[in-house]
Amino acid sequence: MSREKEFAKNTFILALGQFLPNLFSILYIPLITGHFSTSEYGEYDYLLTIISLLLPIATLQIHSSAFRFLIEARENKEKSKSIISSIFFFTLIVSLITVLIFACIYTNATFERIIIGMYIISDAFFTLLSYIARGLADNVGYSIASFILSGLKTMFVFICLVFLKSGLWGVLTGICLSYILAMLFIFIKEDLLSYISVKSVSLLVIKECIAYSWPMVPNNLSNWVLKVSDRIVITFFLGVEANAIYAAANNIPNILNMAKSVVVMAWQENASIALNDKDAAEYYSKVFKDMLSLIAGITALIIVSSPLLFILLIRGSYEDAYYQMPILFLGVFFGCMSSFQGGIYIAHKRTVNVGVTTIIAAVINLLLDLLLVNSIGISAGSVSTLVSYLFLFVFRLFDIKRFQEINYSYIQIIAYSVFLGAICIFSLFRTPFIYVLNALLGFIFAININRAFLLNISKKLLRKSSM
């Protein structure tokens, strides 16, 4: 199978199991915003934010090694067994230590500390098992597990809020159960019992895996700063209610992140496999151009649909959140493209470069947050997100060329960025005429820049239907 077909196949499989379930799980956004008070929603978002900071530090991002090293060991069962066993037991030990530390720091009720501990362990192990499934070339299994997780999350959140009326801690309990059941599926599907053995644990393997993964820790921390330091600063200076509004503003732009995550996951594997091909430079250049058009098109469609999506998805007193979204849309667009660039770093095993570039962007983000929060309020989060992701994207454009030949169309990049900025501005004028005009512009733009891709898909579908 050609690289392009393999990339398309993996993207399609991951989309079925990742993007579509996440879209489905968006159904619980109006449930949460409708049933939680702004202070409760702010606490919910704040708690998950802190956990997302702790886990990468504790695990040293070793799950990324599981994926990357298993790709090279797919034909060697014993080597795969050693990699999986070593990483599994390492993750188990550090997760338990993290839970104990968090229990000492978090002084709320014992029940609440137990639920948080369950969440930390289940989150860490679902991530690890997912990466193992992908490393073993089972993208179908990974996608099914993601589908199960999203479906169970939606169901449990609905039951906890609508029927049990159990509030924040009931919701977190339901999410933990979702993780546990999805993990059981992966464990059985991949027959991980045949891979996990104390005898197969190797300190040398752990050392090699950590040597690869630890530079991803500052990268992940920097990503954390880029994504959620805004919320920490806003909570500290403006309160949990302001954070709730900013968190609500991020929900619709995050739809684009869902789409991006599918493409980037497929791309990381494809880029690593294609690295040593003679035409790697030409291939990377072509895929970059295609991905720029695809992500710009998806961004445009979500921007022009945002007035309707906001009405459908956001409940409660979050009207001010709407005016943060246009800035966030642009920030997420550049963040998506910089994540795609990260796939080339991963292929070259240049995890240090990934970390350094993200750290610089994170510092910019945090400084702008602190400088602007008192003068422009929650808009400081949106502006700092846009500026930092734009910097990260531009910086990586030139940094990658130091070790990988790749051709960019700078005119195309600038033109797409200007157009997306224009429809973001139009979306602020909340009148029916502007809504319709913006929607037409967005759909025409998205179809036009992806016409070759759409025609190719149409021809394939027609051929299949005529058989």
- pLDDT tens per residue across span 285-302: 888 888 899 889 989 999
Reported as a pLDDT band with limits 50, 70 and 90, residue 386 is: very high
Q: Single out the residue of 312, 233, 197, 232 nearest to residue 45, CA to CA.
A: 232
Is the distance from CB of 160 to CB of 166 less than 8 angstroms?
yes
- pLDDT at position 153 over 80: yes
Is the distance from CB of 298 to CB of 19 less than 8 angstroms?
no
pLDDT at 14: 62
33-51 residue pLDDT tens: 777 777 777 777 777 777 7
- pLDDT at position 277 over 70: yes
Whether 4 maps to a domain, the answer reads no
225-249 residue pLDDT tens: 777 778 888 888 888 788 888 888 8
Q: Rounded distance, CA 287 to CA 336, Å?
A: 14
Whether 97 maps to a domain, the answer reads no
Buried b (16+ CB within 10 A) or exposed e, 224-234: bbbbbbbbbbb
- pLDDT at position 393 over 90: yes
Whether 357 maps to a domain, the answer reads yes
How many distinct structural domains can be found in the chain? 1
Is the distance from CB of 273 to CB of 3 less than 8 angstroms?
yes
- For all residues of the chain together, what is the average pLDDT? 83
Whether 204 maps to a domain, the answer reads no
pLDDT at 415: 96
pLDDT at 423: 95
Whether 43 maps to a domain, the answer reads no
Q: Rounded distance, CA 133 to CA 140, Å?
A: 9
Structure tokens at 206: 């752990």
Is the distance from CB of 85 to CB of 200 less than 8 angstroms?
yes
Q: Rounded distance, CA 296 to CA 273, Å?
A: 26
Place of tokens 């790749």: 406
322-334 residue pLDDT tens: 899 989 999 989 9
pLDDT at 334: 94
Average pLDDT rounded to a whole number, residues 371-386? 92
Q: Rounded distance, CA 98 to CA 51, Å?
A: 10
Is the distance from CB of 136 to CB of 192 less than 8 angstroms?
no
- pLDDT at position 180 over 70: yes
| Owning domain of residue 301 | 215-467
- 13-17, 112-116, 358-362, 448-452: range with highest mean pLDDT: 448-452
pLDDT at 72: 77
Q: Rounded distance, CA 355 to CA 342, Å?
A: 10
Say which residue, 272 or 286, is predicted with more confidence.
286
